[in-house]
Amino acid sequence: MLSPTAGFLSFLGLTVVLLVFVTWTGLLGRRALHIPLVVTTVLSLGAAIYYAKQLGTLYDIESAGLITPVHLTLAKVTTALYLAPLATGIATLRGADVKRWHRLTAFTVLGLTLITTITGAWMILASTPL
């Protein structure tokens, strides 16, 4: 088992790399690669979240101030919004004309993921270690 810090950084890095490949294969319309990469990315994100929660127990995250509730809210909203590109992607596979919405929701979630990562780093850096 990895330490919370090593696990979080490893899976966060893997998730970012996978998101790049998911975006690339999606833009190229390479569904045979895109779909398994999406599944792998979601699993990696789940592991990153697991380790992030473990990492949070090593810090007094409330000591970081206002950034803590901002980050935690963003993290929950962003995680829930991962369902939007999933739903529109499935609809696209079934022939619905929602490719534009799929792209919009996917890029929205990518942007929110970046913001969530930045606020999470800010929160940890501003927190007092326990």
For the full predicted model, state whether its pTM sits above 0.75.
yes
- Predicted local distance difference test score (pLDDT) of residue 122: 96
- Predicted local distance difference test score (pLDDT) of residue 1: 84
- Predicted local distance difference test score (pLDDT) of residue 89: 94
Domain boundaries, the chain: 1-57, 60-130
Q: Which residues of the chain have a pLDDT value below 70?
A: none
Tokens of 130: 């326990």
Burial tier of 83 (Cβ tally within 10 Å: 0-12, 13-18, 19+): exposed
